[in-house]
Amino acid sequence: MSNYITAESFGSDLPENWELIAEKLNRAIDELGIADDHDAVNELWNDYFDGKGINWYAVLLDREDNDWGTGSYVSEKAIEMARYYRKNNDYPDAYVVVINLTYSDEVAVEEIHDLDD
């Protein structure tokens, strides 16, 4: 993962958790394939801080699973992961939860159970 977003990106308003924010945004930039698109990176940055947020697609194994750590910033990748768990890992109820990440919050906004093509 490259460091497109650094401490300098925040200017004089460096938040205490800047490293976590930068890690999330840098990972999103890599996964979305927008590293070479300065306008797209700026849009991602602005959406994150202006409250629109960016989406993280968490893959959960069943209704008891509450760990949002596995997934992708690309919906198709997350859906493929959930399909894989359904087919190959004996988790027939695997699904995707859309998590909206903003500067101040992380909120589940949607569940995707229908994983058919």
pLDDT per residue over 28-68, tens digit each? Answer: 999 999 999 999 999 999 999 898 999 999 999 999 999 99
- Asked if 74 and 104 sit in the same domain, the reply is yes
Give whole-number Cα distances, 24 to 58, 77, 84, 88, 89, in Å. 14, 17, 24, 29, 28
Q: What span, in angstroms and rounded, lies between the C-alpha atoms of 113 and 104? A: 27
- Total number of domains constituting the chain: 2
- pTM (2 d.p.): 0.88
Q: What span, in angstroms and rounded, lies between the C-alpha atoms of 10 and 49? A: 11
- Asked if 60 and 106 sit in the same domain, the reply is yes
- Asked if 64 and 93 sit in the same domain, the reply is yes
pLDDT digits (tens, 9 = 90+) for 63-109: 999 999 999 999 999 999 999 999 998 899 999 999 999 988 899 99
Detail the DSSP E strand segments found in 1-88.
Answer: 54-60, 71-72
Domain range for 32 is 7-50
End-to-end CA distance of the chain: 30
- Of 35, 50, 65, which residue is a domain's last? 50
